[in-house]
Amino acid sequence: MKLIFATGNQHKLKEILSIAPAGFEILGLKDIGFTEELPETQNTIEGNSLQKAEYLANKFGIACFSEDTGLEINALDGEPGVYSARYAGAKATYDDNTDMVLQKMKGEADRSARFKTVITYHADGKYVQFEGITEGMILNERKGSQGFGYDPIFMPMGADKTYAEMTLDEKNGFSHRKKSFELFANHLATIAVLK
């Protein structure tokens, strides 16, 4: 089954490809020659995920899926949340965003946080969403050089190292993205059986 993943982020595409079950061919936006920025103007992770999938589905008339992910930190009232990718500004780098979190978390005793991913599958004018959450904590400093985004400062519950210290296989053992994609894959398998 061929699926279009509404992302230009090669890191996210690589993670999804590493957990996709056999029988699925997943193409990113670059694979189909789409270079526009997808709209992300909603104020929730769920809303952004739907907006991206809906835009692509309406533009090309194809079944597709998108995802939106946010880091929610309890001591910061859920920030950066839906603004995780641009927490330090519209042109912010991963390092800029991580620096801002570390600055805001200075002196905070409650380091608890979670990563939340929402995948939206859009086909035939309808959509369904799948949520994956990984609880963890924010460290006081970066550790590791793998992964991307906030991975160097996020340690998932039950682990003794950050996402950025893990191999991709190790990260997938905890991954919020994998949890949501597994629910999505199960849904697609159900559809295939029904057809």
Annotated catalytic sites, by residue?
A: 68
**Single-letter code of the amino acid located at 20:** A
In whole angstroms, what is the distance from residue 46 CA to residue 7 CA? 15
Find all residues with CB under 8 Å of 165, minimum gap 6, and list them. 143, 144, 146
Q: Which of 66, 62, 74, 60 is nearest to 45 (CA)?
A: 66
Q: How far is CA 11 from CA 16, 88, 147, 164, 177, in A?
A: 9, 20, 8, 13, 12
**What sections of the chain are H helices per DSSP?**
10-19, 45-60, 94-104, 168-172, 176-194
Query: What's the DSSP call for residue 154?
Result: E
Q: Which of 55, 57, 33, 116 is nearest to 82 (CA)?
A: 116
Find all residues with CB under 8 Å of 193, minimum gap 6, and list them. none
